[in-house]
């Protein structure tokens, strides 16, 4: 069954590559008017060529740039029905730099974009979808900073859902497992760190890593009327990776 988002206005923060790109293109293919932001202007140009209506180069660690994107996108699209917070700094190790990247981008970009979009979302009784990770659901020695900030976003998602329910705004998050796409970290690890890649692969019951489109499909479901009674939840999309 396909989704129909004709007339809906969707903003995707961190929408130029991988999961974010698949979400932006998925909504556009379903008829939505979509705005996406990211740092790479070239990737954004490709998104517009593929059907995304509006893009703006944006450093999602910068509060002013986030506010400017949300304001411009809302004006261009005529409002906001869905906000997808997908950006990540991918700060993995237990270092000051990794923690700062994660807090600035994974956490504060989610807070700032949500707050900027909230007046429009209240008016449309829209929804927010935050991209987290299965790393935020269990301890790890490989990427402690990344896992911790994703856990924070999962907790914040539930708090947002409780705060905004009175306004008719739903908030959920998606926790993907290991997702592979051209130019992504897992494609690089396939050749740069095959031991890690093969260890992760062996732990996925279906015998492969996930695809961005498989996460995008869940985002479309959560934004659709089929999920009208779903809020405050984190949906794991990992092909059973956490079962291992």
Site of tokens 């994107």:
69
Catalytic, 146? Answer yes
Structure token pair of residue 137: 């659901």
Given a contact cutoff of 8 angstroms between Cβ atoms, the answer to whether 212 and 179 are in contact is: yes
Catalytic residue among 146, 156, 164, 197: 146
Count the helix, strand and coil residues of the chain and give each as a percent rounded to the nearest 5. 50, 15, 30
24: left (phi over 0), alpha (psi -120 to 50) or beta: alpha
SS3 141: coil
Residue 225 makes CB contacts below 8 A (sequence gap 6+) with: none
Sign of the dihedral defined by the CA atoms of residues 72, 76, 80, 84, in that order: negative
Q: 29: Cβ–Cβ under 8 A, 6 or more apart, which residues?
A: 51
Tokens found for residue 63: 């509060």
**Active-site amino acid positions:** 146
């Amino acid at each position: 069954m396909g989704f129909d988002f004709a007339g809906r206005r969707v903003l995707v923060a961190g929408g130029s590559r991988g999961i974010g790109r698949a979400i932006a293109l998925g909504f556009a293919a379903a008829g939505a008017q979509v705005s996406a932001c990211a740092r790479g202007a070239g990737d954004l140009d490709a998104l517009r060529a593929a059907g995304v209506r509006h893009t703006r180069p944006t450093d999602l660690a910068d509060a002013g740039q986030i506010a400017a994107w949300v304001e411009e996108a809302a004006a261009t699209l005529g409002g906001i029905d869905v906000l997808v917070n997908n950006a990540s700094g991918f700060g993995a190790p237990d270092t000051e730099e990794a923690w700062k990247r994660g807090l600035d981008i994974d956490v504060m970009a989610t807070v700032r974009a949500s707050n900027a979009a909230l007046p429009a979302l209240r008016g449309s009784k829209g929804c927010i979808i935050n991209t987290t990770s299965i790393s935020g659901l269990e301890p790890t020695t490989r990427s402690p900073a990344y896992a911790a900030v994703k856990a924070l976003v999962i907790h914040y998602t539930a708090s947002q859902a409780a705060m905004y329910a009175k306004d008719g705004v739903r908030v959920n998050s998606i926790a993907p497992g290991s997702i592979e796409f051209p130019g992504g970290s897992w494609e690089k690890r396939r050749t740069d760190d095959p031991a890690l890649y093969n260890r992760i692969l062996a732990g996925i019951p279906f015998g492969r890593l996930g695809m961005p489109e498989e996460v995008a499909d869940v985002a479309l479901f959560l934004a659709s009327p089929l999920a009208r009674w779903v809020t405050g939840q984190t949906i794991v999309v990992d092909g059973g990776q956490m079962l291992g």
